[in-house]
Amino acid sequence: MSVETDVIPLAKPVLGREEEDRVLEVLRSGHLSLGPRVPAFEQAFAERLGAAHASAVSSGTAGLHLALRAAGVSEGDEVVTSPFSFVASANAILYERATPVFADIDPVTLNIDPAAAATAITERTSALLPVHIFGYPADTPALERHGLPIVEDACEALGASHPDGVAVGGRGHPAVFAFYANKQITTGEGGLIALGDAAHKERIDSERNQGRAPDMGWLDHDRLGFNYRLSDIACALGLAQLGRLDQMLADRARVAAAYRTAFAADPVEDLTLPCEDHDGNVRGWFVFVVQLPHAVDRDETIRALAARGIQSKPYLPAIHLMSFYRERFGHREGQFPVCEDVAARSIALPFFPAMTEGQVARVTQELRGVLAGAPAA
């Protein structure tokens, strides 16, 4: 094998003629921003989820920031969230000078544990921010019982649904999706907030555009705002991607099933696979993350796989143990033991819709070889 010519990438978007045609149409129109593709993409996405409204923004991080503002989070507040996530979910809370209060995760779903979240709520808690990690639905119905505003980080969960059949993002809370190149659909960069409240949409649409209301002049602004807009080019790409979403979700599920079959044929002791759908929850497959055996050096495993032409990545670190959060809030090892154990052992394997069974077989074979200490071919 030549690593230079036969590397299996971690992720790979599905792009074709439809995407090219739609983007070229925008380019030729000369209307690249604040044009008709933005509301068209918002409407199509909201209809897909069964949401009343949607607001397209420049990134998932921007979406979390604006959603927290719309939910009323402000300086001095606390927001209960998961320590096992991409750091943006906690950072967005800090943007409003509020404090992220972490609660440990469920060892099976890897989402925030509702019981742990309940004990973390105080009189200063102004919102809850569950993360649908790796596309598996968080137990949002359990969190709803507290009667607090909820902002959902659904950036990894397009295509997921709850036991009642409601799509993740369709429960009426502000729910934020992201469209980076490894997500279920991509606009290159970009995000979207699904919404149930028309007043929230009005506020977010203004704040993403420097605080300008729809009926105001170009240089007239009546509130603090940001440059969080998403371009017509990106929304055109998103519309094309939505048109092939069902097939891409099916292909992702196929690849996940191929991984399960390959590992089942020759199990690796103490290797933990992503949980199966259960209790009526349906995952929207984003990544295929395994937890390595406890005695294994995760970073060395990643290096060894790279030498064999297999891309992989740690997924994800414990946020509270990052240097910034340690120094600012005094976090330490042992506070959230389930999260810390999972974070220390988790590794994302190559995963994308066009992945073949042969590639899956090669990844699993090479991983077994690395874990067994076998030399690279």
Is the pLDDT at 81 greater than 60? The verdict is yes
CB atoms within 10 A of CB 258: 20
| Distance between CA atoms of residues 71 and 68, nearest Å | 5
pLDDT at 376: 64
Whether residue 183 lies in the annotated active site: yes
Q: If pLDDT is split at 50, 70 and 90, which confidence band does 4 have?
A: very low
Q: What is the mean pLDDT of residues 267-272?
A: 96
pLDDT at 214: 80
Q: Write out pLDDT tens, residues 170-193.
A: 999 999 999 999 999 999 999 999
Is the pLDDT at 354 greater than 90? The verdict is yes
Share of the chain above pLDDT 90, in %: 94
Q: Six-digit token pair at 134?
A: 């790796």
pLDDT at 374: 62
Cα three-residue angle 106-261-306, rounded to 5 degrees: 80
Q: Write out pLDDT tens, residues 100-149.
A: 999 999 999 999 999 999 999 999 999 999 999 999 999 999 999 999 99
Structural domains in the chain, CATH included, are 17-243 (3.40.640.10), 245-372 (3.90.1150.10)
Higher pLDDT: 184 or 215? It is 184
Three-class DSSP category at 154? coil
Rounded to 5 degrees, what are φ and ψ at 247? -70, -40
Is the pLDDT at 1 greater than 70? The verdict is no
Q: What is the mean pLDDT of residues 261-286?
A: 97
pLDDT at 377: 56
Q: If pLDDT is split at 50, 70 and 90, which confidence band does 219 have?
A: confident
Note whether 342 and 110 are within 8 A (CB): yes
Share of the chain above pLDDT 70, in %: 97
Q: Over the chain, what is the mean pLDDT? A: 96
CB atoms within 10 A of CB 186: 22
Q: Write out pLDDT tens, residues 149-176.
A: 999 999 999 999 999 999 999 999 999 9
Strands of the sheet with 53-57, listed across from one edge: 53-57, 191-195, 175-178, 152-153
Give the single-character DSSP code of 223.
S
With residue 369 as reference, give the H or E element that holds it: helix 357-372
pLDDT at 101: 98
Note whether 87 and 322 are within 8 A (CB): yes
Which residues have CB under 8 Å from 63's CB, separation 6+? 55, 57, 155, 176, 177, 178, 191, 192, 193, 228
Q: What is the mean pLDDT of residues 9-19?
A: 97
The residue with tokens 């497959």 is 285
Which residues have CB under 8 Å from 251's CB, separation 6+? 14, 353, 354
pLDDT at 220: 79
Q: Six-digit token pair at 373?
A: 């200490």
Amino acid sitting at position 237: L
pLDDT at 373: 87
Looking at the whole model, is its pTM more than 0.75? yes
